[in-house]
Structure 1
């Protein structure tokens, strides 16, 4: 649970780990302050100890977990609000258990997105490296062969040779450009603002449009499940979901759902009318509303969306891998053929 800077928010995995440990403590019948004390005794990391010490000192004074978590400034706002509700309603153990599953799901989604982005980027980097080596190291060798035969490389092969020489002569410029591109990529990956900007850009691409809708729907179902499980009404859950998802397009659906509920529609009908869930999940929610199992159904829907997200990510990788290999093969093949075919013609005429 340690962080290099106290002000940095904990990662999804760190939040899941903390909530899981607190769940075990609370289910065992220990008060929250005793749980924090146990975690403090077992902590090995210096930063983790510092965070837990701040929490423990605050809990000694207040007896509450929420102000202790808030004082550390490292826990996400959503976790803080849910813990506050759990303490107010006496369902802190259930809330912590629900938060454990929530942040585990968030971590899995984050890993799926990173793996779906990282693998193609590695492939693209390898493609660029192969092409650069071909242009800067291999093409000059063919140029020497042509010169020894009294010929010059022209046309497409000549253009590739000129490009290779340009890359060699201005290597520092190209390296600088590459470093800037890498820096921009790291910014998009590491900063929340960058991730939001990238998400907004990729949503406009047809390939990723459905994916982000599924991620938002998964988070919506998970958020509503937690809120209802803690004893709050669906309207409160919609507010939390809107803050958690932070997606402009999905936010419109949430506001539409809230408006329909204010007009008298029940929760399931409002969700369906707002277009938040797809047909099957909408019907599941309607039936659960009649049987009084809405919270359990929302958890089931969240798990199903998580599986669909994983499948969609896997399908993207399955499509991109052969596509990139084919593109690389075509480019390399064109460059080599542009040299080898004229060379074979020259050799045949000797």
Structure 2
């Protein structure tokens, strides 16, 4: 009773091909906006919540998230947040220094840090941005 690596590799290849065929209406379109869009924020908070829930420190979580990002502008934002956290600031203060994050995010994270529920807050912010992105996609779909 063992694993067959051939089956795992073919499944992985098929998964990559299916993700390339996403519909035009399901893509995030940003015109003249920030590089840290709502979709990127959704992914950021999802990964942060999962990593913190797994017991990984905030420092290591930010490092892993930075490595996973592809665009250099997004990496730079996460890197400056990481540098601020390393220098002794809280995550909420590090986020407050960037104009791409809203006050809602700042206060939510601040409350999460003060109450010790940062993991749950990150997951809730992820769900918030997921719903926001879905509403936007549905609105664009209805208008087209």
Please give the TM-score of this superposition, normalised by the length of structure 2.
0.77
Using the alignment, how far apart are the partners of 1:306 and 1:214 within structure 2? 8
Q: What is the SS of the residue equivalent to 1:265?
A: coil
Task: Identify the residue that residue 233 of structure 1 maps to in structure 2.
Answer: 57
The one of 264, 282, 285 aligned to 2:106: 282
Which deviations, in whole Å up to 9, do the C-alpha atoms of 1:171-226 show, x marking residues without a partner?
xxxxxxxxxxxxxxxxxxxxxxxxxxxx8xx64x33xx369610111111011111
1:263 corresponds to 2:87: yes
- Mapped partners of 2:48, 2:67: distance in 1: 12
1:249 aligns with 2:73: yes
Structure 2 stretches lacking a partner, 5+ long: 1-6
Cα deviations by residue, 1:274-296 (Å, 9 ceiling, x for unpaired):
34532112111101100000000
> In structure 2, how many angstroms separate the alpha carbons of the residues matched to 1:273 and 1:211?
16
> Equivalents in 2 of 1:312, 1:230: separation in Å?
31
Which runs of structure 2 are paired with 1:152-301 in the superposition (5 Å)? 203=30, 205-206=31-32, 209=33, 213-275=37-99, 277-301=101-125
Contact kept, 8 Å, 2:45 with 2:122, in 1: the verdict is yes
The answer on 1:116 being equivalent to 2:25 is: yes
Distance 1:270 1:298, change over 3 A: same
Corresponding position: 1:8 with 2:8 = no
Distance 1:287 1:116 in 2: 35
CA RMSD of aligned residues (A): 3.2
Alignment of 1:90-169 (within 5 A): 114=23, 116=25
Structure 1 partner of 2:140: 316
Deviations 1:149-184 (CA, angstroms, capped at 9, x unpaired): xxxxxxxxxxxxxxxxxxxxxxxxxxxxxxxxxxxx
**What is the alpha-carbon distance in structure 1 between the residues aligned to residue 14 and residue 116 of structure 2?**
36
In 1, Cα distance between equivalents of 2:11 and 2:108: 43
Identify unmatched segments of 5+ residues in structure 1: 14-106, 119-198, 322-350
Residue-pair matches, total:
137
CA distance in 2 between counterparts of 1:318 and 1:234 reads 40
1:33-48 map, 5 Å: none
Aligned partner of residue 246 in structure 1, secondary structure: coil
**1:97-146 CA distances to partner (integer Å, 9 max, x unpaired)?**
xxxxxxxxxx8xx99x625169xxxxxxxxxxxxxxxxxxxxxxxxxxxx
Q: Secondary structure, in 3 states, of the residue corresponding to 1:277? A: coil
- Taking the aligned partners of 1:266 and 1:212, their CA distance within structure 2 comes to 20
